[in-house]
Amino acid sequence: MDVFAEAPPVGDEEVRVGCIQSGDVQAAVFQSRKGGVATVPFHQTVVLQSRLLG
């Protein structure tokens, strides 16, 4: 599982991407929000999606 965030300077919306791999399946979770994406809820989303794939 890898998590990426936009490098500053960020425009009006910040985008975060979480990449997940389970066997031969690859998935990407994208979240964007004006003002910034909260780190903890995004990480929890990626972890839960990873568990659903696993």
23: left (phi over 0), alpha (psi -120 to 50) or beta: left
Over residues 8-42, the pLDDT tens digits come to: 877 888 899 999 999 999 999 999 999 888 999 99
pTM equals 0.80
Asked if pLDDT for residue 47 goes beyond 90, the answer is yes
Instruction: Give the Cα separation of 5 and 19 in Å (integer).
Output: 12
Report the amino acid identity of residue 50: S
Asked if pLDDT for residue 2 goes beyond 80, the answer is yes
Query: Which stretches does DSSP call E strand in the chain?
Result: 2-5, 13-22, 25-34
